[in-house]
Structure formats: structure tokens, C-alpha cells
């Protein structure tokens, strides 16, 4: 698992590999323990207190939209980490 570890520790590939092993061996509680440690609940959603609230003041009938630049930035980040591309 050379690609699973680097000088900083476990990589995403290593993390996914380990948890695939845990799940295959029926050690689901190990994976759930890690997910909960990082703030996920039983629906695999982050706790509300871990998601920063927007500092943009708006009325209840108003919304906030991302600029085209922000959307392109997020798309680039997604594509950088998407293994299927």
C-alpha cells in the first residue's frame, strides 16, 4: 500500500482501503467510530454545529448565489479529486 501512505501519514487512498477492509471483515463499528469522530451522524451528514453559518446578512425571502468564478473554482477542486475523470 505504498500509495496509501506518504510522509504526512495516511492518504485518501489509504484511508479508503483501510475502511474497505474494516467493512469486508464486518468491523462496521470501526468505520462508524471514525465517521462520528469527524462529526458525521447516522445519516452520514455533518453536524449543524460543524458547518459554518454564512456571515451574509439577508432577509428570509432573499437568497445567496455563487458567482461564475466561484462555481468554476469549485468545479476545478471537484475535478482535481474526482478519480473517475
Q: Where are the domains of the chain?
A: 5-81
Across the range 28-47, mean pLDDT stands at 89
Q: What is the pLDDT of residue 10?
A: 87
pTM for this model (two decimals): 0.51
Q: What is the pLDDT of residue 62?
A: 87
Query: Are the beta carbons of 12 and 18 closer than 8 angstroms?
Result: no
Cell output for 10:
495516511
Beta-bridge partners for 9: 6
Amino acid at each position: 500500500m505504498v500509495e496509501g501512505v506518504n510522509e504526512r501519514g495516511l492518504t485518501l487512498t489509504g484511508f479508503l482501503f483501510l475502511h474497505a477492509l474494516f467493512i469486508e471483515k464486518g468491523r462496521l463499528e470501526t468505520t462508524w467510530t471514525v465517521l462520528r469522530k469527524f462529526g458525521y451522524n447516522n445519516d452520514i451528514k455533518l453536524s449543524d454545529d460543524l458547518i459554518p453559518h454564512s456571515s451574509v446578512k439577508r432577509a428570509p425571502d432573499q437568497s445567496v448565489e455563487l458567482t461564475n468564478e466561484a462555481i468554476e473554482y469549485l468545479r476545478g477542486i471537484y475535478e482535481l479529486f474526482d478519480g473517475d475523470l
